[in-house]
Amino acid sequence: MSFPWGRIGQFFGIEKRVATSDAYLGAFYDGRGRGTASPEGVVSALGVAYACVSRRAQGLASVPLVVHRNLGPSNAERAEEHPLYDVLNSRPNDYQSANEFRDYLVRCHDLYGNGYARIERNNRGQVVALHPFAPTMVAIERLANGRLRYRATDFTGRVWVLLQDEMLHVRGPSRNNVYGLSPLHSARGTVGLAVAHTETAEALTENKLQPGGILVFPNSLTGEQRKQLRETTASLFARTENAGRLMILDGGAKYEHLAFSPHDAQFLESYKLSIEEIARIYDCPPTSVGITDKSTYSNTEQEALALVRNCLAPLAARFESAYARCLLTDAGRRQYFLRHDFSELLRGDMNTRFQAYRLAREVGVYSPNDVRRLENEAPIPGGDQYHMPSNWVALGSDAAPGQTGNAP
């Protein structure tokens, strides 16, 4: 357990607040006072943004987060008896499962750039529970000694003032090393264009008198006649359910087509490009979020691997380092480390997988029981023996096949 310097400093008045800012306003207003769309508004407007965040959150929350004991160079073992193992993989608190907690934390990180949870410890200093906060309900104060202090409101309305050692803070890319930046805010130009494309598509869908034009009459109309004509036309030909209705014009009226079609404006191509740009913000391969117009069998399989290697793996490294920084002591970080186990997500099809198992067993990497454990099967008697080809001998050795290089 680390020494509580923060509490002692607070008691003697050493830790004094020198700066404060609101997390929500700091993340979603630029330096000129112009607001950008909130993450909830962006996600509700853009289905691809929701798909990207869900893919990352569900993918990272669905794999085991394993606590390993460091046994030396390139040697480690699972430390399932460590208190953190149960907190991170089974029950982080009384009202959430581990999957729900980790999913929520990733969504907060991807939407707001910050994920917060109050750390609850027992009398021995061990972490026994993690209680999440909504990112919009947390403000951070930088103290005179450089440490951070958090003022947070939980879901019941209770206000907490927590020191740095009492808060799990997963921070995204940051300008000031205090608040993380939301990916949606960092790429707000791209996001704004995508939202505009979505709103345009909705408007074109609702207004079926598309594209616009002009009704030309040989004689002048009064203001009341213009108003009545405009209302009648809108009521008869606007909205989806009025698509395809026959238009009848009398009094010498003539309809002139003025505007260009969405195809002429290459609107659909621009709309697809803006959707792909949102996927790039989150490093999600297009096929992983349902963009399949350029997909083939081969690139879909490769993009499934790219989702883990290029998207989930860097995200996992950020969370692992935050867990180690906030949940382990200085001594604990030298003895333990945390890793997400992506082996299930990287498994190939059965034929490819079993060919790899056969090769690994023939060269002595896996035993039969190692293979069975990877397939979630019970071990068999005598299955822990490792084999290698009998004609393999050390280079320069005079040993006969089946003998080791040191045999007499």
Domain boundaries, the chain: 1-203+262-346, 213-257, 358-408
Q: How far apart are CA 364 and CA 80, in angstroms?
A: 27
Residues 73 and 84: their CA atoms lie apart, in Å, by 23
Q: CA dihedral in degrees (193, 194, 196, 202; nearest 10)?
A: 160
In the 8-state DSSP scheme, what is residue 252?
T
Terminal Cα-to-Cα distance of the chain (whole angstroms): 55
Residue tagged 């995508």 (tokens): 194
Q: Which two tokens stand for residue 12?
A: 């003697």
The predicted structure's pLDDT at residue 280: 86
Helices (H), 155-222: 183-186, 188-206
pTM of the model: 0.70
- Single-letter amino acid code for the residue at 23: A
Structure tokens at 246: 């026959």
Q: Give the residue ranges of DSSP H helices in 134-182.
A: none
Instruction: Calculate ∠ Cα 373-375-378, nearest 5°.
Output: 50
**Contact call for residues 146 and 178 (beta carbons, < 8 A):** no
Nearest to 21 by CA among 156, 175, 157: 175
- Residue (of 32, 121, 142, 132) closest to 329 by Cα position: 121
| pLDDT, position 206 | 63
- pLDDT of 336: 93
CA nearest to 189, candidates 197, 180, 178: 197
How far is Cα 384 from Cα 387, in angstroms, rounded to an integer? Answer: 10
Residues with Cβ within 8 Å of residue 65, at least 6 apart in sequence: 88, 89, 98, 102, 320, 323, 338, 339, 340, 341
> 3-state SS of the chain: helix, strand, coil percent to 5?
45, 20, 40
Instruction: Kindly state the tokens that stand for 368.
Output: 């039969």
pLDDT confidence of residue 33: 36
pLDDT at 92: 95
State how far the alpha carbon of 305 is from the alpha carbons of 174, 249, 308, 315, in Å. 28, 60, 5, 15
Q: pLDDT digit of tens for each residue in the chain (408 aa)?
A: 444 444 444 444 444 444 434 444 444 434 333 344 566 666 655 778 888 899 999 999 999 999 999 887 777 888 889 999 999 999 999 999 999 999 999 999 999 999 999 999 999 889 999 999 999 999 999 999 989 999 999 988 899 999 999 999 999 988 888 999 888 887 777 777 777 777 776 666 665 545 456 667 777 777 787 787 777 777 766 666 666 666 666 666 776 665 555 555 566 677 777 788 888 888 888 888 777 777 666 677 778 888 888 899 999 999 999 999 999 998 899 999 999 988 877 776 677 788 888 888 888 889 999 888 888 788 899 889 888 787 777 666 666 555 554 544
User: What's the rounded Cα separation, in Å, for the pair 354 and 36?
Assistant: 51
Buried b (16+ CB within 10 A) or exposed e, 372-404: bebeeeeeeeeeeeeeeeeeebeeeeeeeeeee
| 23, two tokens | 């997390």
Supply φ then ψ for residue 120, to 5 degrees.
-105, 125
The three-state secondary structure class of 344 is coil
Q: Which residues contact 379 (CB under 8 A, 6 or more apart)?
A: 369, 372, 373
**What b/e sequence results for 132-166 when a residue is b if at least 16 CB atoms lie within 10 Å of its CB, and e otherwise?**
bbbbbbbbbbbbeeebbbbbbeeeeeeebebbbbb
CA neighbours closer than 13 Å in the CB half-sphere of residue 95: 4
Can you give the pLDDT at residue 256? 64
User: Rounded CA gap, 78 and 99, in Å?
Assistant: 20
